[in-house]
A and B are shown apart, each in its own frame.
Chain A
Amino acid sequence: MYPTNFRDVRATPRVTQIRRAALAAGLLVPALVLAACSSSSSSAGSGTTPSGGASASSSAGATGATGAGVDLAKKAVTQMEQPPTWQGPADTVNVASAKGKTADLINLTEEIPALHEWAAVAQAQLEKLGVKANICDAKGTPEGITSCLTQDIAARPNVIVAMALDTSFIHGYIQQATAAGIKVITAQTGTPGVPQGTGAVAEVTFNYPEVGQMLGTWFAASSGCQGYPQIITSTSSRQPSAAEVTGIQAAVKQYCPSASALSVQNVLIPDWATNLPTVTRSLLNSNSAIDYMLPLYDGMTIYMVPAIEQLHLSHQVQVGSFNATPVVMQNELAKTSPLSADVGGPNDWYGYALTDEILRVLAGAPVVADEHVPLRLFTRDNLGSINLSANESTWYGTVNFACQYDKLWGQACP
């Protein structure tokens, strides 16, 4: 039994024309917005792309093989699959000059394992050498970044390391720090080399253009320049992503000269879980020529691979990506899966490289333009040479990078 006011209330004939019009307008607004979006699609891209979507798809793709280019690409891939050798710095550092000084590391977020590990390794090495090292977790938010920067500038350390922070966002803070006599090192902004125009004195990063170059080369070799690649970027990580995309495009142009511009789509990190499955399927539905997908980070593949499999395209579409994240390597590359190539870099090695640059700046020594943290391409051809269950730092060959750095720092090599 229900109360009497719990009843149907129907529209009466007194509903005015104005109300009808308002209701209709309310329902049609989304349709109009949609129509407006649709009409602009021919002139707009995805925001980050040289060309985007269906209109771009018709002119993109890497067709027109050149045998010589493909052969070169295959040779390059064989080389990329080999374990890296030591190409790090040769000049030693007077660690005694760095002792007692302070380095503050501002980490974009401690929640990303690689970022956490880089900072943790650097902190442990610095403290072992008598340098005070603090980590500030910016929690991946603009507020966190500004809070860490403000706090650290006020604390007057000798060095601030901005880890994975967008230099255009923190430019003003770098100037403030420099004015206060604090040296700033940027990290993981994409391209190795002494930073120009940012105010920072050094940069330590994986070589993202080279990552892209490796993926583009793998595509050329694997497809014989006959495939159709689709890049999926994530501009939430703006600088490294842009560098990686540039690298892919450069390699495809180098090995497949007659290829036209590659199509790029953008899916922001917060949208990976909700958006990547539909983006993947929509791309494959809209362009059946796509047979290679190049998501910039392999965390994206956990959402893309099921979508490819649901379309029964596991054997037609190959995926290449970056990070060589253990769980992705173990569950996708090591099994029957569209993921066929994953470029990786050793996290512990990077932590040592970062430590080395910090020590050089603290000691007043010339900085190293490129620490040459290695990269390796993993495919099913060389997967058997590594132990996927072992720590990922063992996947990069037998170079004892810790020993190499200890020698540079005047320490006994264990």
Chain B
Amino acid sequence: MTGGPDSGVNATQETLATAASPGPAVAGPAARRLDPVRLVERYGLVLLWAVIVVIFSLVAPNSFPTVSNFSTIFGTQAVLLVLALGLLVSLSVGEFDLSVAATMGFATVLVALLSAQDHWPLLAALAATIAAGLIVGGVNALLVVRGGISSFVVTLGSGTLLTGLGYGMSNSQTIGGVPGGLVSAASKQFLDLPLAFYYGLALCLVLWYLFNYVPLGRHLIFAGEGREVARLSGLRVQRIRAGALITCSVIATLAGILQAGVVGAADPSGGPTFLLPAFASAFLGATAIRPGRFNAWGTFVAVYFLVTGITGLQLLGYTGWVQDVWYGASLVVAVAVARFAAVRRRASAGT
């Protein structure tokens, strides 16, 4: 059951899901043979990342290939990495969570409001914020899974609602004075990188392990790739979908908390701007490491591939419109490549 009456939105979702869905799970003997095309498919993005690093290093030899610049690349987008990783959980089960960035923004405002303005103990503020994320995910899941409404529509609505609530709660003002404990926990540096980066890396490891070595991870993928087949195989597809949506919201909430710690303040308009970069990263990530499937390391590579491109362009003097062009073009190319890979795989399977 895809949920709700079929519509253009559903059709789009299915097209993208198809583009991203088919992928290998168990390697056969033939797969172990070195196949250059397959290698390019798996590691093309990594290769491309290396290529742009080389290009920028040649074009800006004094500023790009420096420790400080690589610290910039890896150290400034940890929040985006966490958000994109949360998104890949819902995308893995074929559900679009368009509220993910708004949930993040809402969480940033909420944790700042509770801890800085209302002077709650930090742990209580964190617990309340995570609980709010659970509620957001729960409501999304209820409407999508039980209500049978398209996740596209539900999360578009809930995201808009959360954005409005964030503005309302903060009186449209930036909230400062985030407790030093949270700021330190996110911004303190280790090996020239903020701790936030290591949290993103740790989440990446957790999701990689989940999707590759834990039955639940396989269930998530299977439920996303063939919902009806998964149900007939005895999987509790509805619970899996609901769990994925709730997990996505909770991880988005964690990203929001991290953002409050990194910035030391909460800007109610800050969250929604992460939506396109998060989707671009998740989709671009689906073209790497495990091509055709949303995967943790692919997302990691994609986030830092995108950031490398943007940082390099910034060093060359391009700001403003460049970021949108880069993210947008990457998203289109990612979906096109994923689609191409899926078609090629189906054609190969049919022969």
Give the interface of A toward B (CB within 8 A). Answer: 2-3, 5-12, 14-15, 19-20, 22-24, 26-31, 33-35, 37-38, 41, 44-48, 52-56, 110-113, 116, 235, 265-275, 277-279, 281-283, 285-287, 299, 302-303, 305-307, 309-311, 325-328, 330-332
A-B pairs with beta carbons under 8 A, tally: 255
Nearest CB to that of A332 among chain B residues?
B176
A313 to chain B: closest CB distance in Å?
Answer: 10
Asked, given contacts A38-B59, A285-B63, whether A111 binds B177 with beta carbons under 8 Å apart, the answer is no
Interface of chain B, main secondary structure: helix
Contact A285 B59 (CB under 8 A): no
| Inter-chain pairs besides A6-B26, A31-B52, 8 sampled, C-beta below 8 Å | A3-B233, A8-B27, A275-B310, A278-B311, A299-B174, A305-B264, A310-B189, A327-B265
Contact A271 B333 (CB under 8 A): no
Residue tally, chain B, CB below 8 Å to A:
93
Give the interface of B toward A (CB within 8 A). Answer: 22, 24-28, 30-31, 35, 37-38, 40-41, 44-45, 47-48, 51-52, 55-56, 59-60, 62-63, 66, 68-69, 71-73, 75-77, 80, 167, 171-177, 187, 189, 194, 218, 222, 225-226, 229, 233, 259, 262-265, 267, 269-271, 273-274, 277, 307, 309-324, 329-330, 333, 336-337, 340, 344-346, 348-349, 351
A268 to B323, CA, bound (A): 10
A and B contact pairs by CB, cutoff 8 A, 22 listed = A8-B28, A9-B24, A26-B340, A33-B329, A37-B318, A46-B319, A53-B316, A55-B316, A235-B320, A265-B319, A269-B269, A271-B320, A273-B269, A274-B273, A279-B314, A281-B75, A286-B63, A299-B267, A305-B264, A309-B187, A310-B187, A328-B174
A7 to B25, CA, bound (A): 5
Given the complex, which residues of B lie within 8 Å of A27, measured CB to CB?
Answer: 40, 44-45, 47-48, 337
Contact A45 B317 (CB under 8 A): yes
Contact A54 B319 (CB under 8 A): no
A299 to B233, CA, bound (A): 54
A302 to B177, CA, bound (A): 11
A165 to chain B: closest CB distance in Å?
Answer: 19
Given the complex, which residues of B lie within 8 Å of A278, measured CB to CB?
Answer: 72-73, 76-77, 307, 310-311, 314
A37 to chain B: closest CB distance in Å?
Answer: 6
Given the complex, which residues of A lie within 8 Å of B307, measured CB to CB?
Answer: 278
Given the complex, which residues of A lie within 8 Å of B317, measured CB to CB?
Answer: 41, 44-46, 52-56, 265
Contact A11 B348 (CB under 8 A): yes
Contact B80 A274 (CB under 8 A): yes
Contact B344 A11 (CB under 8 A): yes
Nearest CB to that of B265 among chain A residues?
A302
Nearest CB to that of B41 among chain A residues?
A23
